[in-house]
Structure 1
Amino acid sequence: MIVTLIVICEAGFWVLLATGLALRYPARMPRLGAAVLLCEPLLEVVLLAVTAIDLKNGAAPDWKHGLAAVYIGFTVGLGHHTIKWVDARVAHRFAGGPPPVGPPKYGTARIIHEWKTAIRWTVAAVVAMGLLQAAIWYVGGDGDIGSLRMWQQKMLFVIGINVIIAGSCTLFPKKAPAAERERLGAER
């Protein structure tokens, strides 16, 4: 049941996003579109409540409960950025907005971009780890919490990978090709 609810929440996320943006741009109802977009966190509240009820009713904590915590964490850490990313593209496509700006490729701007990305992923993983720890405490010492601990370890791995990527961009920054550096210097 938990896995089905996670799939429903993910599908619901994209349906609410599409509906909110369709109301915002093609239908030209920005307030109603914003109201629909603000309903998205309710999906995670429902998932959290159902997961807690499932554990309270005696379900053995397993990978599904861990996946629910991870899904909620990733929605908290990455959901807002995802909505902004999609919004910029829809605004460009349907409302005459400016073309979306891609991530910087070189220099300090690239380093800052990579650290912001690492922070978003770290927030997602920390929220997931916190929810997993809450589930461990909720179940208590009587239950088998091995699968929840396994998810916590995976979240530490996610943090580590993102910090390594951002750190490598900091230590070994990619420089613009010479022709582009000359062009940028001439524009200043």
Structure 2
Amino acid sequence: MGKLRGSVELNFVGWMIVISEVGFWVLILAGLLTRYIFKLNRLGLFLLALTPVIDAILLIATSVDLYRGATATQVHGVAAIYIGVSVAFGKSMFAWADERFQYYVMKQGPKPVKRYGMDYAKHYFKSWGQHVLAYLIGAGILFGLIYLINDPSRTEVLSGFLKIWTLVLGIDFIFAVSHFIWPTKAKG
């Protein structure tokens, strides 16, 4: 298929990630439009509730691809990370989009708040907790795929993703703690 930056080939799973990301935001936008513009709350909530279905489809596609004999690539690792992040941060992404849609499009509700100081530190630390949840979900998927394939030569990339993501999680923890030590200040 097509190439994506350098030597990473955008295969079936790669296209599924792209489609999943686009589908995720299309469902959010459709849900918000249906809910606020067309005043169909139930249908809007139903559209928003469909987003986990996208994750399930991506998980199935990734698993089937590897089960059929594909050697794991970076794209398979990204799929696991995508699913973990989508599940762990999904609710806060909905809230973020909902708040901005109400304020900027509907001209209703309070202006989204810019956080500083200890408020920002607490918020960032909560996000780190979501990162831990995303890691647990994504790492669980990666371990599951490694176990399912049971061939280290075909899953070496997935093991590498686990090591890198563990390091990233640790670095993110350091950033989270640093905001309590050196709180951000409002400009001006």
- The answer as to whether partners of 1:2 and 1:64 remain within 8 angstroms in 2 is yes
- The answer as to whether partners of 1:26 and 1:94 remain within 8 angstroms in 2 is no
For 1:127, the equivalent position in structure 2 comes to 137
Cα gap change, 1:53 to 1:97, in 2 (>3 Å):
same
Shift, 1:173, TM fit: 3.1
For 2:23, the equivalent position in structure 1 comes to 12
For 1:51, the equivalent position in structure 2 comes to 62
Q: CA RMSD in A?
A: 1.9
- The answer as to whether partners of 2:31 and 2:48 remain within 8 angstroms in 1 is yes
- The answer as to whether partners of 2:103 and 2:112 remain within 8 angstroms in 1 is no
Long gaps (5+) in structure 2: 1-11
Long gaps (5+) in structure 1: 181-188
TM-score by length of structure 2 reads 0.86
Cα gap change, 1:29 to 1:139, in 2 (>3 Å):
same
For 1:34, the equivalent position in structure 2 comes to 45
The one-letter amino acid of 1:43's match is: I
Shift, 1:94, TM fit: 3.8
Shift, 1:147, TM fit: 0.4
Could you say what secondary structure the match of 1:144 adopts?
A: helix
- The answer as to whether partners of 1:48 and 1:68 remain within 8 angstroms in 2 is yes
Q: Distance in 2 between matches of 1:72 and 1:24?
A: 26
Asked if 1:97 corresponds to 2:131, the answer is no
Q: Distance in 1 between matches of 2:68 and 2:111?
A: 47
For 2:154, the equivalent position in structure 1 comes to 144
String of CA shifts for 1:120-146, please: whole Å, max 9, x gaps.
Answer: 122212211111111111111454322
Shift, 1:102, TM fit: 2.2
Q: Distance in 2 between matches of 1:43 and 1:90?
A: 22
TM-score by length of structure 1 reads 0.86
The one-letter amino acid of 1:62's match is: T
Query: Which structure: larger Rg?
Result: 1
Could you say what secondary structure the match of 2:54 adopts?
A: helix
For 1:111, the equivalent position in structure 2 comes to 121
- The answer as to whether partners of 1:126 and 1:155 remain within 8 angstroms in 2 is no
Equivalenced residue count is 177
String of CA shifts for 1:31-81, please: whole Å, max 9, x gaps.
Answer: 110001001100010111111111111111222211111110110121211
> What fraction of aligned residue pairs are identical, expressed as a percent?
31
Shift, 1:96, TM fit: 4.2
